[in-house]
């Protein structure tokens, strides 16, 4: 089958990704060097590291939105860049902390309508009412997004990402702005949506804890020696 025309249903819900020895360079110099990461279809890959270590760049590479200078990247068993366009069409990148760059200027119902308009009816996995219910926002349709509690706003950001039928959902800075005590709640919510959708998920964060409790794998990167780590069977749920 031609990977560029194969439908998601023919290949399964999630999307496997295998990257080895990846290096990314920009005009400012090297961003990532010798990074290896893998995630099986339907799994969650957590990427942790301090700011400036290339977490976001790695996300952009894995979802086909940034080129890598060296190394290999296979998506669904096919080498990049052969499937780059297909990968972009079948993935969602959801930066958090500022809902779609709007600074919360829209009301909840307006933001959901905008999300579904961008997604398109054929690509929508969830209806407006399903998004409201899943995010726990029934009865708050007229509330400004910026007036929502930060944890509730993050739930809305996450569920809007899963509104698309994309096979890969990438969430950058999942824990940004979330009090430490509420971070497990956000990871649990992400895990539930991932399980329900069957999509493969990549999520970045500063702190590998509590990511290791909810991810199938955690990749820890730093400025000198990026090393992948896999949680023990007792840690993953």
Q: What is the CATH number of the domain that holds 211?
A: 3.40.50.300
48 falls within a domain: yes
- pLDDT at position 97 is 61
- pLDDT at position 8 is 35
100 falls within a domain: no
pTM of the model as a whole: 0.81
Question: How many whole angstroms separate alpha carbon 1 and alpha carbon 11?
Answer: 10
77 falls within a domain: yes
Question: How many whole angstroms separate alpha carbon 20 and alpha carbon 125?
Answer: 32
How many domains are contained in the chain? 1
- pLDDT at position 235 is 41
- pLDDT at position 224 is 43
206 falls within a domain: yes
178 falls within a domain: no
- pLDDT at position 43 is 93
CB environment 139-161: b (16+ within 10 A), e (fewer): ebeeeebeebeebbbbbbbbbbb
Short-list 177, 236, 181, 178, CA closest to 45: 236
* DSSP assigned state of 128: H
Q: Where are the alpha helices (DSSP H) in the chain?
A: 8-11, 55-62, 84-89, 108-119, 128-134, 150-162, 183-197, 211-214
User: Could you list the residue range(s) of the whole structural domain that residue 27 is in?
Assistant: 14-90+201-231
Question: How many whole angstroms separate alpha carbon 124 and alpha carbon 1?
Answer: 25
Mean pLDDT in runs of 10 for the chain (237 residues)?
A: 35 77 84 88 91 87 88 84 81 70 74 86 82 93 91 91 89 90 93 92 88 91 50 38
32 falls within a domain: yes
205 falls within a domain: yes
């Amino acid at each position: 089958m031609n990977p560029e025309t194969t439908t998601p249903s023919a290949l399964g819900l999630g999307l496997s990704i295998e990257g080895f020895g990846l290096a990314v360079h920009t005009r400012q110099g090297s961003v990532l060097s010798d990074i290896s990461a893998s995630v099986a279809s339907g799994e969650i890959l957590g990427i942790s590291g301090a700011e400036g270590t290339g977490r976001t760049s790695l996300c952009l590479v894995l979802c086909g939105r940034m080129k890598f200078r060296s190394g290999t990247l296979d998506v669904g068993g096919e080498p990049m860049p052969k499937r780059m366009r297909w990968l972009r069409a079948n993935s969602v990148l959801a930066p958090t902390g500022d809902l779609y760059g709007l600074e919360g200027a829209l009301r909840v119902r307006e933001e959901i309508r905008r999300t579904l308009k961008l997604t398109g009816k054929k690509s929508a996995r969830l209806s407006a009412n399903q998004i409201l219910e899943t995010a726990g926002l029934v009865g708050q349709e007229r509330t400004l997004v910026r007036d929502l509690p930060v944890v509730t706003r993050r739930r809305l950001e996450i569920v809007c990402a899963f509104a698309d039928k994309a096979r890969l959902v990438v969430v950058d800075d999942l824990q940004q702005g979330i009090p430490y005590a509420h971070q497990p709640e956000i990871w649990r919510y992400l895990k539930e949506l991932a399980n329900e959708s069957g999509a493969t998920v990549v999520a970045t964060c500063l702190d590998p804890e509590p990511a290791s409790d909810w991810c199938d794998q955690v990749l820890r990167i730093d400025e000198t020696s990026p090393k992948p780590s896999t949680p023990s069977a007792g840690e993953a749920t």
